[in-house]
Amino acid sequence: MNSQYINWYKKIEKALFSLFKCFNNLCSLCYTQTLKQVYEGSRKKRKLWCCCLIDNQVHDYWPQLNIIQSRIDKKWYSKLQTKKLSLWKSMPGEGPCPALGAKGCMLSHCRPLTCTTQLCEKMLFILNELSITNVAYSSPLQIEDIIKVPDIAESLCNIRAKTKIVLEKDVREYLDAVTSFKDKLAKTDSITKENAILKSITLMEG
């Protein structure tokens, strides 16, 4: 695996994490609401439950993820096993993801591609409420479905059967597009954004 590609992938990941941070406490509210609904035995709106509680991206992306994570720390997976979240009952779907710990995701770099590039239904709803996008929010979208970015992410983390050559200018273009999109969200009025975040959580109510 190409070290330069991994470094570029980390830069893209950092830019996207910075975008996700602009959703403030959304993920924490989503997590809490999910656990509340699990406790209450809700069967409705499960599709909107916290992605880390119902998905298992670590195993879905195992071949690529293991190669990248093993380069960072050969014992990465066994470490996850000792700290992963234990729940009092099983979740629908494949979750919880083994990388989910008490303080969120335990993978600080090179997470599975979907965790890095996907915006969930609640995020899309918030972006629409703030007039930043006008997209359908019935299902998650990838960042490339929302803004124009070069098609390089899969090649950088080596999940394409035939990896295409990525140039530094493509990475720069990708980073600029994400940063400019993030700036729009960062500049929105804080109360309006907070209201949109709270409203997005009501989507989860049955």
Residues making contact with ligand SF4 (CB under 6 A)? 26-27, 30-31, 50-52, 55, 57-58, 97, 99-100, 105, 107, 111-112, 115, 120, 122-123
Residue nearer to ligand SF4 on the CB measure, 157 or 170: 157
Residue nearer to ligand SF4 on the CB measure, 117 or 170: 117
Residue among 123, 137, 118, 143 nearest 197 (CA)? 123
Neighbours of 51 (CB within 10 A): 23
Conformation bin of residue 126: beta by default, left when phi > 0, alpha when psi is -120 to 50: alpha
**Residue type for 179, please?**
T
Cis ω on the peptide bond leading into residue 112 (within 30° of 0)?
Answer: no
Residue nearer to ligand SF4 on the CB measure, 19 or 149: 19
Residue nearer to ligand SF4 on the CB measure, 5 or 112: 112
Q: How far apart are CA 16 and CA 118, in angstroms?
A: 9
Tell me whether strands 118-119 and 141-142 are parallel, antiparallel or unpaired: antiparallel
C-beta of 66: minimal distance to ligand SF4 in Å? Answer: 13
Q: How far apart are CA 72 and CA 200, in angstroms?
A: 36
The phi and psi torsions of 122 (rounded to 5 degrees) equal: -70, -40
C-beta of 118: minimal distance to ligand SF4 in Å? Answer: 8
C-beta of 98: minimal distance to ligand SF4 in Å? Answer: 7
Q: Which two tokens stand for residue 119?
A: 């915006």
C-beta of 85: minimal distance to ligand SF4 in Å? Answer: 9
C-beta of 202: minimal distance to ligand SF4 in Å? Answer: 13
Q: How far apart are CA 152 and CA 110, in angstroms?
A: 15
Residue nearer to ligand SF4 on the CB measure, 55 or 129: 55
Residue nearer to ligand SF4 on the CB measure, 80 or 177: 80
C-beta of 29: minimal distance to ligand SF4 in Å? Answer: 8
Helix or strand holding residue 123 (H, E) = helix 121-129
